[in-house]
Structure 1
Amino acid sequence: MNFKDLTNKTLITDNDINWENLGAGVRRKIMAYDDNLMLVKVAFEKNAVGTIHNHPHLQLSYVAKGSFEVTMGDNKKILKEGDVFFAPTMVFHGVLCLESGILIDVFNPHREDFL
């Protein structure tokens, strides 16, 4: 592998990645990943829902823009720009977008179901 190939896989430009429309006011971009780690940008329109779900991956989500009502297990809290939530393995979680926004999700290991 030459240096150019390595640079293309490690230095990522947002404009080079297309949004994937998931429907119901939700879009995502898989920004980078390897076997152990994945970073995903998810854009929500106001009132869009990230359905309650669980998975075996660890997940950290950073609220880059907007505000969200986040459900984590039996708890609910409104998080806004600059806040973070952590979803442990197999804990049910989801979001309701209160003000159009963007979440930056990090998963360990990567989400094969997204690929």
Structure 2
Amino acid sequence: MFRFNADVTPTDCEPGVTRKILCYSDELMMCEITFKKGSKGNFHHHEHLQITYVAEGSFEFTIGGETKVVKKGDSVYMPSNVEHGVTALEDGKLVDVFNPMRQDFLK
């Protein structure tokens, strides 16, 4: 029921990017992703619905071929199987929410 951020060990993703898996169930998963300036979340797609909240920093997101800059307080939606990627314009943090949960993140 409770997951304390200080108790979660980050895992490496792409260079300059780490992920913390926070709370999850079979239907939902929330992760905190930390980026160094200039690092990228490489283009990919997945079956999961995804909503991302910008907790810190600013980012250039491309979703389904459309590119926009988002900053602290903004949010974005990635539909199922739509290609997306992100570049950190400064150090920052994203909070990703997935439906259903990302089983592949637990391996």
Does the TM-score normalized on the shorter chain lie above 0.5? yes
Deviation per CA, 1:67-91, whole angstroms, max 9, x where unpaired?
0000011100000000000000011
Q: Which residue of 2 aligns with 1:55?
A: 46
Q: CA deviation at 1:19?
A: 1.1
Deviation per CA, 1:16-66, whole angstroms, max 9, x where unpaired?
111112241000100011100000000000000001111000000000000
The alignment yields a C-alpha RMSD, in angstroms, of: 0.7
Q: Which residue of 2 aligns with 1:39?
A: 30
Matches within 5 A, 1:67-78: 67-78=58-69
Match among 67, 76, 80 for residue 71 of structure 2: 80
Does 2:56 correspond to 1:65?
Answer: yes
Q: TM-score, normalised by structure 1?
A: 0.90
Could you say which structure has the higher helix fraction?
Answer: 1
| Structure 2, gaps ≥5 residues long | none
Q: Secondary structure at the match of 1:12?
A: coil
Match among 5, 8, 20 for residue 17 of structure 1: 8
| Structure 1, gaps ≥5 residues long | 1-9
Percent of aligned positions with the same letter in both sequences?
46
- Opposite residue 59 of structure 1, the aligned amino acid is Q
Q: Which residue of 2 aligns with 1:90?
A: 81
- Once residues 14 and 47 of structure 2 are traced to their aligned partners in structure 1, the CA distance between those partners, rounded to angstroms, is 24
Q: Measured at CA, do residues 23 and 94 of structure 1 come closer, stay the same or move farther in structure 2, by a change above 3 Å? A: closer
The structure with the largest alpha-carbon Rg is 1
- Opposite residue 38 of structure 1, the aligned amino acid is M
The count of corresponding residues between Structure 1 and Structure 2 is 106
Q: TM-score, normalised by structure 2?
A: 0.96
Moved more, 16-25 or 67-76: 16-25
- Once residues 98 and 14 of structure 2 are traced to their aligned partners in structure 1, the CA distance between those partners, rounded to angstroms, is 22
Does 2:92 correspond to 1:101?
Answer: yes
